[in-house]
Homo-oligomer: A and B are copies of this chain.
Amino acid sequence: MPEQTRKRRPYAPRVPMAERREQLLDAALTIIDRDGYDGVSIDAIAREAGVTRPVVYGAYDGLGPLLTALLDRQQDRALGQLFAALPLGADDADPLAVVERAVPALHAMVLADPVTWRAILASPADVPDVVRERIEGDRERVRGVIEQLVTVVLGARAEQLDAEVVAHGILALLDHFGGLVLADPGRFTAERLSAAARSLLAAWLP
């Protein structure tokens, strides 16, 4: 009686590369959302996807390239969502209207795709270098857009302001409140945040 009994791992369903790649990116994103960037490793991704490590190495050349691919994919989603939410066609130049439209739109945006946004908003500091650099770069792009938006919307008033500093401030606020909304949606509702922004801005305008 040959002891062939050594249980062999059941074969994972065979899928073509393209699909496998997508599946691995999903697995990585799931891990990031559940365990943070610390939890991401080739091994963890393989386990999460129900395959073995060589399968992952077959699809990507390592953790760096895999995360880069993930960022490529999420970047489209995130920036697309974001630029859709920002009232960029706002030539009306009414600051109050801009804020009234942007705040609920952004609120809806993060809650509509919490996994993507948690990965971005909760990312900082010790993430793998590839990820860090990528997100930094995107932040800069967004900050530039905000800076322009501020300049345009505030028009003449803007001359008093340090637009770069203001843009940094706005982005910091979006960042922080985005995180709060994700962490505690019941406490930080769109209405509440809109009201706060409105009342601050209303008092500020002439």
* Chain A residues in the interface with B (C-beta under 8 A): 36-38, 122-127, 157, 160-162, 165-166, 168-169, 171-173, 175-177, 180, 188, 192-193, 195-196, 199-200, 203-204
Contact = CB atoms under 8 A, between A and B. Distances in A.
B36 A126 contact: yes
B192 A168 contact: no
Given A36-B126, A168-B180, 11 more contacts: A36-B125, A122-B125, A125-B125, A126-B126, A160-B203, A162-B199, A166-B200, A168-B176, A169-B173, A172-B173, A172-B177
B37 A126 contact: yes
Contacts of A171: 176
A29 to B, nearest CB: 15
19 contacts: A122-B125, A123-B125, A124-B124, A124-B125, A125-B125, A125-B127, A126-B127, A157-B203, A161-B199, A162-B196, A165-B193, A168-B176, A169-B176, A169-B177, A172-B172, A175-B176, A200-B204, A203-B204, A204-B204
